[in-house]
A and B are shown apart, each in its own frame.
Chain A
C-alpha cells in the first residue's frame, strides 16, 4: 500500500477532487448536534454514494424477482444483474474466474464458511495459525473449529508499534499447520501486514492462507492472483456497498474440494431422499435466495470506486492519514496506539484521564463521529493494557476539515475533563 512519506498532500487532494466526491454522498451533508458532520468511523462502516442507493432502488423498482430459476423476464433481469455484480467483484480483486467469487453476508460469514467447510478436513493435532491483532471474526470461528476438532489455535505475536513479528510467525509454521488466517489491515491498529511474505512462506510448505481483507479492500487495489492467497474475505458495507453483503474469494481448486457449508435451494442440482447432487461453483456455497439487491448495490459501489480509482484513493488516504496522525500527535496527553511503519486508514489513540467513551460523547456533540471501545479486538487492548481506544478512520471523502474538527473537539474534551 502507498506510503505517505514523499507525497505532498494538497496536489493529491486536487487530483481526487474531494469536494466533488463529497457531493455524491448525501448523508455527509447534515448537521449533528448543530455542527457540520465529520464522519470518521469508516472502519466500522463507510457511507454510500447516491449511485449505490439508486442502483438498489432501481433494482427493486424495475427488476426484482428470484434469480436462477424463473423463465420470466424479471427473473432473467435479476439474474443478469446479480451475476453482473459477481463479474464486477471478480474484476475488482482480479480473480481468474467467477466460480471463485462466493457472495456472503459479510467478512464474518466468509470466514465462518471456510472454518465450517474447509474445517471439515481439520483434525485433532492440526494447527491453525493466526496473529495477535485479528478481529474477533478471525479468532472465534477458529476457536469454535478447534473446540469441535481438538485442533490447536496458535497466535503469532506483535510488537509495541502494533506490527506483526513476521519471523516469529514463520517460525510458528510446523508440519501440523493446516491453515494460516491473517488480517491484511488491522481494524484496531491500521497496520498493513506483510501478507506477501506470509503467503510465500506458507506456500513453501503447501499451507493455504486466508486473508481477512475487510479493512484493505476499501483502501487499495487488491489482486488475489498477484498475492497468491488461497482465500480472501471482505465486506461490502466498508467499501460503500450495502450492509449484509460480502465476498469469499477462494482458489477454485480448493473450493472444488471443499464440502458445502449450508444446505438448501440454489446449492443443489438434484435432490432425492437417498442423496443430493451439489451445484457447481460458486453456487455450491450459496444456499437459499441470495442478497440479490445487496450484490447489485455492491457492484455499483465497485463501479464507483473504480471510477474514482483505487490507486488515487490509496495515495490520497495515505496523505490524509499522515495529516491525521501528525495532528493527533500535537494533542496533550495523547498516546497513539498503532504506530506501525506501514498503515492504512486508521489511527487509534487514548488520552490520559479521559475515557474513550467520554471522548466519543463529547466529540459527537461537536459533530465528530468516531468509534470508541475495543473494536472487536480485545486481545489487542489487553496487549496494550487499555480497556479501549478512540479510533478515527478515514475514507477518500474525508478532508482536512474533518480532521481539524476532530482536533478541536479533543480540545473541548480536554478542557471539560481537566
Chain B
C-alpha cells in the first residue's frame, strides 16, 4: 500500500490539494472582455474562464465551474500564472503548461513553478485532460473564440 500511497501523493501534492480546496480567483468578472467555456464530456466537468484585457495585457482573470481536484487546482494556478501577462507571453505559458502535463518534465519557467506540482498527471492519460482543460479554455478565450472548448476535440 505504501508504494501506491506515494504514487498518489505524486498526483495529489499538497500544493494541488491547497489550490483545489481554496481556489484562487474563483469568481465571475463583471464585464469581461473575453470568456470561454471548457467542457470535459467524459466527466461532465465545466469551467468558465473570464479575462479582462487591457490593451495587450491580461489585467484580470477568473474562473467558475465544477471539476475534480486536479482541474480546479489547475485552473486556480492558471489564473495566477497568466495574470498581468501579454497575450503572447500567456500563450507561451499555456503551451509550456500543457507540455508539463503531457510529459511530466519541468518547464524551466518561474511563472510555472507551482504548476509543476501537477506534473504527476502525465502518468495518468485519463487525468491529463483534467489538468489541461483550464489552460486550453484560457487559450480559446485569449484568441477571442466564443465556441465551447472540449477535451475531446
Q: CB within 8 Å of B: which residues of A? A: 33-35, 354-358, 361-362, 365-367, 372-374, 378, 381, 387-388, 412, 416-417
Contact = CB atoms under 8 A, between A and B. Distances in A.
Nearest to B69: A358
Contacts of B127: 357, 361
Contact of A388 (B1, B43, B69, B70): B43
Contacts of A35: 1, 4
B88 interface: no
A415 to B, nearest CB: 11
Given A373-B44, A378-B44, A387-B43, A34 B69 contact: no
B23 to A, nearest CB: 13
B45 A366 contact: no
| Main SS class of interface, A | mixed
B113 interface: no
B71 to A, nearest CB: 8
13 contacts: A34-B3, A35-B4, A354-B69, A355-B68, A357-B68, A357-B70, A358-B12, A358-B68, A365-B4, A366-B4, A367-B4, A372-B43, A417-B21
Contacts of B46: 387
A33 B43 contact: no
A366 B124 CA distance: 15
A354 B70 CA distance: 11
A365 B7 contact: yes
Contact of B44 (A362, A387, A416): A387
Interface string B61-75: 000001111100000
B107 interface: no
Contacts of A378: 44
Given A361-B127, A387-B44, A416-B17, A355 B4 contact: no
B89 interface: no
A355 B8 contact: no
B124 A373 contact: no
Interface of B: 1, 3-5, 7-8, 11-12, 17, 21, 42-46, 66-70, 124, 127, 130
A373 B42 contact: yes
B102 to A, nearest CB: 18
Nearest to A382: B44
Contacts of A381: 44
A357 B44 CA distance: 11
Contact of A365 (B5, B21, B45): B5
Given A373-B42, A373-B44, 8 more contacts: A34-B3, A355-B68, A357-B68, A358-B68, A358-B69, A358-B70, A366-B4, A412-B5
A361 B124 CA distance: 9
A355 B44 contact: no
A33 B3 contact: yes
B13 to A, nearest CB: 11
B3 to A, nearest CB: 5
A416 B12 contact: yes
A357 B17 contact: no
Contacts of A417: 17, 21, 69
Given A355-B67, A355-B68, A361-B124, A373 B7 contact: no
A398 B12 CA distance: 30
A373 B42 CA distance: 7
B1 A355 contact: no
A417 B67 CA distance: 14
Contacts of B5: 365, 412
